[in-house]
Amino acid sequence: KAGVTQTPRYLIKTRGQQVTLSCSPISGHRSVSWYQQTPGQGLQFLFEYFSETQRNKGNFPGRFSGRQFSNSRSEMNVSTLELGDSALYLCASSDDTEQFFGPGTRLTVL
């Protein structure tokens, strides 16, 4: 089975712009979770989608949003980017047990 894929792998944006990141889960997995990793805060949970429904949400501002499509692919969007949004964004897919992570998207906000 192919693993979790994320696009793009690297992204440079400027403050105030918005960005959309994409995640394709392992075939057959219906759950997709998103995480943000920064040196200061470590790995933090953003949200989780299962069969196109958001089941869980972390403590991030409303600028961070996501969605899931009928084929289980997921996107996350960050609007009005801030310098502090620079991070590695990881998605994980699951069959509701073990989570498997993609390679991440490294976002730099200038």
Partner 1 sequence: GIQVEQSPPDLILQEGANSTLRCNFSDSVNNLQWFHQNPWGQLINLFYIPSGTKQNGRLSATTVATERYSLLYISSSQTTDSGVYFCAVEDGGTSYGKLTFGQGTILTVHP
Question: Where along the sequence are the contacts to partner 1 (CB under 8 A)?
Answer: 31-33, 35, 37, 42-45, 48-50, 55-56, 58, 88, 90, 92, 94, 97-104, 106
Q: Which is nearer to partner 1, 41 or 80 (CB)?
A: 41
Name the one residue in this structure whose structure tokens are 């084929």.
71
What DSSP assignment string belongs to 12-31?
EE-TT--EEEEEEPPTT--E
**Closest distance between partner 1 and the C-beta of residue 49, in Å?**
8
Q: In degrees rounded to 5, what are phi and psi of residue 84?
A: -70, -5
Q: Which is nearer to partner 1, 11 or 88 (CB)?
A: 88
Q: If we measure between CA atoms, which residue out of 57, 55, 46 comes closest to residue 23? A: 46
Q: Which is nearer to partner 1, 73 or 101 (CB)?
A: 101
